Structure 1
Amino acid sequence: MVSGVVTESTRTPLLSFVVPVYGVEAYLYQCLESILGGLTGDDSDAIELVAVDDASPDRCGEMLESYAAGRPNVRVVRLTRNVGLGLARNAGLEQARGRYVWFVDSDDWLPPGAVTTVLARLRRDEPDVLLLDHLRVHENGRLEVDASSHLLRGVPDPVTLDERPELLRVQHTAWNKVVRRDFLDELDLRFHPGWYEDIPFSHPLLIGAERISVLDQVCYRYRQGRLGAITSTRSGRHFDAFAQYERLFEWVDTHHPDPELRATLFTLMISHYLVVVGNDDRLHPHLRRAFFRRVAEHYRRFLPPEGYPQPDGVPGLKHRLVGRNSYLAYVALRRAHRMAGRLRGQRAAPAPAGADPAAGREVAEQSTALAGQG
């Protein structure tokens, strides 16, 4: 599968960047330069970049070879066939020599100063896992703070998950975590094939870590809405999430069979499924019912005997509808909730001619009736 590695080196850097590359020639240079550009000599010597050409169909392979030429801290791994994001990360990890590894997606990029800041924190804390903050960047340039970013506040020193259990609710991606390489090997963690590969990888990192360091600074820019991105692609492959959560619970049952931890993960799982099933950019309407049925199946299968902490409000109502496998009620709630959102957005504007003043009352009545079913 691996056809070759360009630019060999025998040094041991502090930090290896592993960058899987596929179909991103418009964004690739920005990503690479955001990692290596503007570094001092000491910081440059402390890192390496391992880029994995996952049989990219565009010019990415040529761009990587050109970029690596004359740069001893850039290495290129070429795969002979496309294997997907998770397995491409594994291929890069096998070639990485750093004490720490940071998985950066090639359509994203790092803000100026991020690498220097991360290196300083790794030297200071020597953590198992370093958690980073990020910003979502939309195609129109709009910046969005992640809903979980506030959980990174006020953690100046390394902690465990027992001391800060809310950290398990930080976005479960690989790219917002810098991980000690030996710790990965101790947990025997690698990425699985398929979409949503971060699920059985990221949660175990925090569960198993004895030293979690938290960097309350934006060190990553997460591109939104790119054509071809998983989160912007309607596909049946979103059903891969079910197998990934099954792997996660199998790992937890084997390594950390704690009822409270399992209940927290159950809440996160159902909430994540509801994000997917309600997103028009991910699921075609004709797949929504089947996906919902699978969510209900996992609800019954993994429901903790002692119960679990349900969200408040509409999210909690959706959880209850999943528990009852009430797809039609879920559809009605989803429709009513969206209609209410549109009406709220129209309040600042004059009502269009012929608008039905009873529409708002109908939405409220639907929501109230559904809430009564909970």
Structure 2
Amino acid sequence: MDVLLTVVVPVYAVEGFLAACLDSIRAGLTPEANASVEVIAVDDASPDRCGAMLDAYAAEHGGLRVLHLSSNVGLGLARNAGLAEATGRYVWFVDSDDRLPPGSVHAVLERLRESAPDLLLVDHLREHADGRLEPDASSPLLAGPATVDRLLGVQHTAWNRITRRGLLTEHGLRFPAGWYEDIPFSNPVLIAAERVEVLNRVCYHYRVGRPGAITATRSERHFEAFEQYDELHERLDRLGAPPAVRSRAFTLMINHLLVVAGNDARMHPSCRRRFFRGIVRQYRRHLPSGYRRPAGAAGLKHRLVEANSYALYSALRGMYRLTALRQRSTERTPAVSPDLSSTPRPVQTTSLR
């Protein structure tokens, strides 16, 4: 039977999560469905036991091809290495510290056979360290019309989209080196696809806040996001993206960069002003003709970027953070009615939710 789906799993320093990830890919598959899937794990010169674990897993379970890289190349290039070995008609990039809920691969295979899309988007849940699951803020977009303008707002990652491998070859779409490698890949894949389908089903659990993840690491490497967005806009040029798509992509870019700038887990305070200046340069470099800023608070932040006003941005950020802290404090602290007598009275609590 021909391979319908190749699952590429780049692996680096995740020995505590690796087995669960690999088990989740094959879980619940019938022998027929199992024959339609190949799994390629790419050991990105992992410094821990991951390489040996992959070899042992392949020997015990079968159905896993292991590619050992001689030196560490990073997530994007490790994905490219796995893609180069893929034989499936479709490819799904699954991160090795995440996992798939039961039935996910089976559901994906069924939809791929039914509709033969260029691109299939799936829903996901965010999984916290304590096991708590929560939907992503962008997930409701998957329930509406499958238009490019709408789907550009879906979390821009590689792991929530299953792509026809031929589409990647036809448009020369690969991952760049460096952090934020998903930026020049995920939305160009969406724009290049002529036939887009949505499987409005949770098929992925994304671990958040894991030590070592870039979203939980303070580093100047977050400045690499600027180069990745430059590459994104070059790819949009090559794909002939229409003005409406360019404007939408521009809005999302500025919103995302502002999130990075304001995130204490990523941005050291000493770097924030310099990063803001980088956002200003991106704004001026890629501003589409006739662009209209978004409404509300997002639009206000866009105005501050446009005006290169870090002082006002910093003051606004401080005000928002103080307001949020006060609100959380109020929600957690019971409000007690004043007791002016010696007789105990029951505590009364109020909620601002």
Rounded to whole Å, the distance in 2 between the matches of 1:258 and 1:177 is 22
1:40/1:350 Cα in 2 relative to 1: closer, same or farther (>3 Å)?
closer
Gaps of 5+ in 2: 337-353
Rounded to whole Å, the distance in 2 between the matches of 1:146 and 1:247 is 26
Q: Pick one of 184, 188, 205 that aligns with 1:221.
A: 205
Q: CA deviation at 1:39?
A: 1.5
Deviations 1:162-203 (A, max 9, x none): xxx201111110000000011110111000000000111011
Q: Pick one of 134, 139, 146 that aligns with 1:149.
A: 139
The 8 Å contact of residues 27 and 103 in structure 2, kept in 1 or not, is answered as no
The 8 Å contact of residues 160 and 209 in structure 1, kept in 2 or not, is answered as no
The 8 Å contact of residues 175 and 185 in structure 2, kept in 1 or not, is answered as yes
SS of the equivalent of 1:23 reads coil
What residue in structure 1 maps to residue 260 of structure 2? 276
Rounded to whole Å, the distance in 2 between the matches of 1:225 and 1:79 is 27
Q: TM-score, normalised by structure 2?
A: 0.92
Q: Pick one of 44, 49, 63 that aligns with 2:34.
A: 44
Q: Pick one of 64, 75, 96 that aligns with 1:106.
A: 96
Rounded to whole Å, the distance in 1 between the matches of 2:3 and 2:62 is 12
Alignment of 1:95-244 (within 5 A): 95-155=85-145, 161=148, 165-244=149-228
One-letter amino acid matched to 1:235: S
The 8 Å contact of residues 191 and 241 in structure 2, kept in 1 or not, is answered as no
Rounded to whole Å, the distance in 2 between the matches of 1:177 and 1:232 is 23
Rounded to whole Å, the distance in 2 between the matches of 1:110 and 1:23 is 19
Alignment of 1:82-93 (within 5 A): 82-93=72-83
What residue in structure 2 maps to residue 286 of structure 1? 270
What residue in structure 2 maps to residue 322 of structure 1? 305
Query: Over aligned residues, Cα RMSD in angstroms?
Result: 1.4
The 8 Å contact of residues 131 and 215 in structure 1, kept in 2 or not, is answered as yes
Deviations 1:281-317 (A, max 9, x none): 1111111110000000111111112113x33322221
Q: Which moved more, 1:316-325 or 1:124-133?
A: 316-325
Rounded to whole Å, the distance in 2 between the matches of 1:109 and 1:70 is 20
Deviations 1:107-144 (A, max 9, x none): 00000010110000000010000000000011122212
Q: CA deviation at 1:12?
A: 3.4
The 8 Å contact of residues 118 and 167 in structure 2, kept in 1 or not, is answered as yes
* Identical counterparts, % of pairs: 58
Q: CA deviation at 1:154?
A: 4.1
Deviations 1:67-125 (A, max 9, x none): 11154421000000000000000000011110100000000000001011000000001
SS of the equivalent of 1:105 reads coil
What residue in structure 1 maps to residue 7 of structure 2? 17
Deviations 1:335-367 (A, max 9, x none): 000111112223342589xxxxxxxxxxxxxxx
2:62 pairs with 1:78: no
Q: Pick one of 297, 301, 318 that aligns with 2:281.
A: 297
Q: Pick one of 309, 315, 329 that aligns with 1:346.
A: 329
1:316/1:160 Cα in 2 relative to 1: closer, same or farther (>3 Å)?
closer
2:47 pairs with 1:57: yes
2:240 pairs with 1:250: no
Rounded to whole Å, the distance in 2 between the matches of 1:154 and 1:257 is 22
SS of the equivalent of 1:342 reads helix
1:218/1:332 Cα in 2 relative to 1: closer, same or farther (>3 Å)?
same
Rounded to whole Å, the distance in 2 between the matches of 1:229 and 1:345 is 26
Rounded to whole Å, the distance in 1 between the matches of 2:27 and 2:104 is 11
SS of the equivalent of 2:152 reads helix
Rounded to whole Å, the distance in 1 between the matches of 2:144 and 2:152 is 15
| Dislocated runs of 4+, deviation >4 Å | none
Rounded to whole Å, the distance in 2 between the matches of 1:141 and 1:166 is 30
One-letter amino acid matched to 1:139: A
The 8 Å contact of residues 8 and 42 in structure 2, kept in 1 or not, is answered as yes
